[in-house]
Amino acid sequence: MQTLQQPITPEVVAQVTGLDVRRTIGLTLYFGDPRRMFVLSLPTQAREPLAGLLNGLLKPSQVEVVRFGEKKALRLVSQSMPFLPELYLVSSDDMLYLCGDRSLAQALHHTPASQRFSQDPFLSRVLPETEDKQLRLVLNPSMMRPFAMQLQGIGTLAKMMIPQQRANLLAKLSAEAKEQIEMQVRSQLHVRDLEEFADYAECVLIATLEGVLDFITSRMVAFEGLTIDAALRSGEIEFTLRAHSQRFGPEAYTSALPMREVKEALAWLGPKYQSFTVSGKKPTRKENRVFSAWLERVRAQCDARGLKSSFLVHVSKLLEDQAPIPTVESQVPWTFTTHAPLSPAGSLREAASLQDYFATLETPLHRPVTLVPDQGRAFLETCFRVKSRP
C-alpha cells in the first residue's frame, strides 16, 4: 500500500501486473529435467502490464518467434534465470503458459481436448472437491503406470538369472568348504545336502521376488494419486492429505475428526493441557495377508520341486487361527491423548514419615492419558477382556 499509495485489491493487482488473482495459478511438473519439464499457468486480465512485468523479471537476452504449423510461441533466453536453458511462452485469450521445453509448447497447442488434464478422471474428480482451498498440490501418477507393467518383465529376467548365479556360487566352493557347509546345514536344517539346501533357498528367493513385484505392480496400477490442500483464509490453518487408490475404500482410512466434539473435550479439560494429539476412528486391524500369500508362494515352489513343505502348512495354519483383536481406537469416533498427573505430587511436609513420602514419588509424574467419547460403562471392560483373552 505504501508503494502504490492505495489499498491492494484484485483490480489494482490486475492493473499493475496483468494477472487475474481471483483465478488459480498452476504449476505442472512432468518427468524429466525439472529445468525444462514444467508448465506455469498464469490467468491473465491485461496483456501490457504483464509483458512489462515479465520483461523486468526475466531480462531476456534473446527473443524469437517459434511456429508449430499455424500456431506459434515465443522463445526467449533469460539473463536473470541462468538455470533455465530456455523458456517458451504460449498464450490463449485469458491464460499465459510458461514452459521450459519445446515439446511442451507444441503439446499446449496440439494436444486433443480428450487427452488434456482437465479430462483426466482423477483430476476431474479431486479438483472440484478442493475448489474452496487456497493451496493445492496434486500428484497424478497416470504417466507412471506403463512402467509398472515393465516390472514383470524384469522379474522374468531375474528368475532366469537365479539358477545361473546358484550354479556359479556352488562351483566356486572348494571341496573342503562344501563338505563343511553340508555338515552344518544337515545337522541344523535337516536337509540331505547342499544342493537340497540351495533348492529351498531358490524357492524362497523366487517366491519373494514374485511377491514383491506383484505387490509393487498392483499398488502402482491401483494408485490414483495424492492430494495435499490447505485452507488459509479461516482463523485456523488446515492442511489435508489424501491418498487415492482403487484398492481401498473409506473404511480403510482414519476417519475425519468431529471438531465440535473435540472442542468440547478441550473445554472440559481446561487450559492446562496445551500439548495433545487427536485422531479419528482408525480402521479395523486385519490379518497379515501379505505374509500368508508369501507362504503360499514358497509352498507352491517347494511342491513343484518335490521338496517337503509341511512346516509351511503349520505356520500358515497358525496365522489363520490368530484372529486380530479389535482395538479401542477402531471402535470409537475419536481418541484424545495428552499428558496429565495421575496422582498428586508428594509433599515432604505433609507426609507422615520419610518412608511414606518416598512411597508417593512416581517417575514420571505426568503420564499419557487417552480420552474417548462415552460408549457406555461396559464398553472398556469388554475391550480389555477381549484383549487379555489367551
Distance CA 189, CA 308 (A): 12
pLDDT in tens, 14-70: 888 899 988 889 999 988 888 899 999 999 988 888 888 888 888 888 899 999 888
pLDDT in tens, 248-281: 766 677 888 888 888 888 888 888 877 888 998 8
- 80 sits in the region (left: phi over 0; alpha: psi -120 to 50; else beta) called alpha
pLDDT in tens, 69-94: 889 999 999 888 888 889 999 998 88
Distance CA 169, CA 358 (A): 65
pLDDT number for residue 157: 85
Question: Can you spell out the DSSP letters for 258-273?
Answer: -HHHHHHHHHHH-TT-
Is-cis flag, bond preceding 364, omega within 30? Answer: yes
Q: Are 100 and 38 in contact (CB under 8 A)?
A: yes
Q: Are 60 and 76 in contact (CB under 8 A)?
A: yes
Q: ∠ at Cα 113 (111, 117), nearest 5°? A: 85
SS (H, E, C) 3-35: CCCCCCCHHHHHHHHCECCCCCCEEEECCCCCC
Phi, psi of 238 (to 5 degrees): -115, 125
pLDDT number for residue 216: 86
